[in-house]
Chains A and B, each alone.
Chain A
Amino acid sequence: MPLALVHARYQLLEIIRIPVAIFGSAFFPAATMLFFVVPFAGDDPTAATFATAAMITFAVMSANIFQYGIGVAEDRDQPWSSYSRTLPAGPGPRFAGRILAGLAITYFSMLPVVVIAAVATAARVTPAQFLLAAGGVAVISVPFTLLGLAIGYSLPSKAAIVVAQLIFFPLAFGGGLLFGPDNAPGFVDAIAPYVPTRGALELMWAAVTDWRLNPTSMVMLGVWIVVFAAVAGWAYRRDEGRRFT
């Protein structure tokens, strides 16, 4: 078995043995759907579909930023993590394993959202759009996973919790996740294409509606992926576990 899969398997094993962690990540997007999307946009098929895609993007972002940002920072406090750094494997398999495990958890936490959207709203997608959206979740997980890893590897766990929370809201707001495609305030429209969440959101919209991608958002999403990957890689290499002075 490739090392990346080995790392993914053990990450998942550890998560699954404490099932509350999974229910936590599944609860948040489901509750958001129930309280904000169903009552306000549930009856309009177009609005409900856009809103569901936005909620999924929101959930992918929060699941990944928190899962990695805080999870990695906490792991780094554990002696086991410093032991595993003495094994003959570089950052590659470890990163890849974490990302695969995170993706599995992200998909799992999507299930309630999808069920609620299908049962309680007018949101509708074709089978092809559904598959496209499922693939889209994997694609848009990449930048948020890398951002989470960058936070987790560069900060101690208490600071990582605060930074993840501070980054989280402006990313959601600035990227237009909290608005429909036509009702965002002007300044949000102006900055959104340069915010990494926007490219992710547009990919999800494009997967399930006839939304046309904004080239600026896509280019910026690519730029952000490179930036987050560079920061995460740099932080991993300079990481020496806990630091005391």
Chain B
Amino acid sequence: MILARADQVSRRYGEVLALDRVDLTVRAGELVGLLGPNGAGKSTLLNLLVGLRRPTAGRVELLGGDPRDPASRRQLGVTPQETGLPGTLRVGEVVDFVSAHFPDPVPRGELLARFGLSDQVRRQTGGLSGGQRRRLAVALAFVGRPRLVVLDEPTTGLDVEARRTLWEAVRGFHAEGGTVLLSSHYLEEVEALAQRVVVIGHGRVLADDSVAAIRGIVGVRRVSLVADDLPALPGVVATEHTEGRTHLLTTDADQLVRGLVTAGVAFRDLEVRPTSLEEAFLALTADDRPAPTPA
């Protein structure tokens, strides 16, 4: 059962191509993490999927229909990226307003308790702390007992404890059969929550696989050495020079070292280290070139 789909979707803002023929499918029960640096096109893709924007080309589908048709959004819960709650309204009023749009909303008290906001019910949202506002914004995504929840950078700006509270709520929802599509530029967050990762960079899908497999693809090694001049070498994803050393990020360190040896390059101080997911991810999104796809 497919809950959300983008099919060869492009979106252009004036001269800028924010999304370039993107394919994405979210099936029932999945917890998909959309990973990419700021400006990669994550928010644009989510906005297309929830019906806020129209694709320039291609097709988007939400819960079996056009996301711009209100009926398609009945089982959708969304958290906006920016915390922009109406400042003069009280927390309880904001929840009631959103609840009124759904046939069987979660009772207000229950929802606020789940997100640790019970004491704030009478406060105006403008008087909440940043973390409380963010929690309220995320809570709103769950009001309508959705099948699919779309969270755009849900924990941006939160402290560690608040972030973990939100993670628990997202995991709980998923454990009960809910489907989640969340974007983040925190690798830690995607690793902690998601089963499947879609890496986006420069408006394209660079990789789409399980967390483990993404780790495999980006199981990039850092081969670092001192050498004057290097020939073209196989499997190099990125090259850096720092303090007289050359750092080669590669998906296959063994082959790279063999290549170095057979090419007869004069090198010394060879080091092979695993990279963090973050480094690998930066390497993947560092330029326009799509990463090697998994076999």
Contacts and interface: CB of A to CB of B under 8 A. Distances in A.
B52 A78 contact: no
Interface string A165-209: 000000000000000000000000000000000000000000000
Contacts of B86: 10, 14, 78, 80
B165 interface: no
B52 A89 contact: no
Given A3-B100, A14-B89, A79 B52 contact: no
A86 interface: yes
**In terms of DSSP, what is the predominant structure of the interface of chain A?**
loop
Interface stretch (A107-115, A149-157, A211-219, A237-245): A237-245
Contacts of A90: 70
Interface in A38-91: 78-80, 82-83, 85-90
Interface string A1-31: 1010010001001100110000000000000
Nearest to B79: A83
B89 A88 contact: no
B54 A87 contact: no
Contacts of B85: 80
B276 interface: no
B84 A80 contact: yes
Interface in B53-84: 53-54, 70-71, 73-74, 76, 78, 80-84
Contact of B93 (A13, A78, A88): A13
Contacts, number: 73
A13 B125 CA distance: 13
Given A6-B97, A88-B74, A244 B80 contact: no
A55 B15 CA distance: 49
B78 A86 contact: yes
Interface size class of B (residues with CB under 8 A): 20 to 34
A78 B80 CA distance: 11
B98 A87 contact: yes
Contact of B13 (A1, A89, A245): A245
Contacts of A83: 78, 80, 84, 137, 140
Contacts of B15: 245
A5 B15 CA distance: 42
Nearest to B76: A86
Contacts of A82: 52, 80
Contact of A88 (B16, B53, B70, B83): B70
Interface string B121-158: 00010000000000001001000100000000000000
Contacts of A244: 13-14
B54 A240 contact: yes
B93 A86 contact: no
Given A86-B73, A88-B71, A245-B15, A80 B88 contact: no
B14 A245 contact: yes
Contacts of A3: 100-101
Nearest to B144: A88
Nearest to A10: B97
B37 interface: no
Contacts of A85: 51-52
A14 B87 CA distance: 9
Nearest to A93: B101
B90 to A, nearest CB: 9
B19 interface: no
B267 interface: no
Contact of A79 (B14, B74, B81, B98): B81
B59 to A, nearest CB: 17
B50 interface: yes
Contacts of A13: 88-89, 93
A88 B84 contact: no
Contacts of A6: 97, 100
A7 to B, nearest CB: 8
Greatest chain B CB density within 10 A among A10, A86, A87, A89 is at A86
Contact of A87 (B53, B84, B89, B101): B101
11 contacts: A3-B100, A13-B88, A13-B89, A14-B88, A14-B89, A17-B89, A86-B52, A88-B74, A89-B70, A241-B52, A243-B13
Q: Which 7 A-B pairs have the closest CB atoms?
A: A79-B84, A245-B14, A17-B88, A79-B82, A83-B80, A86-B78, A88-B73
Given A79-B82, A83-B84, A88-B71, 18 more contacts: A10-B93, A14-B89, A17-B88, A17-B124, A18-B88, A80-B85, A83-B140, A85-B51, A86-B73, A86-B78, A87-B101, A88-B76, A88-B101, A88-B144, A89-B70, A241-B52, A244-B14, A245-B14
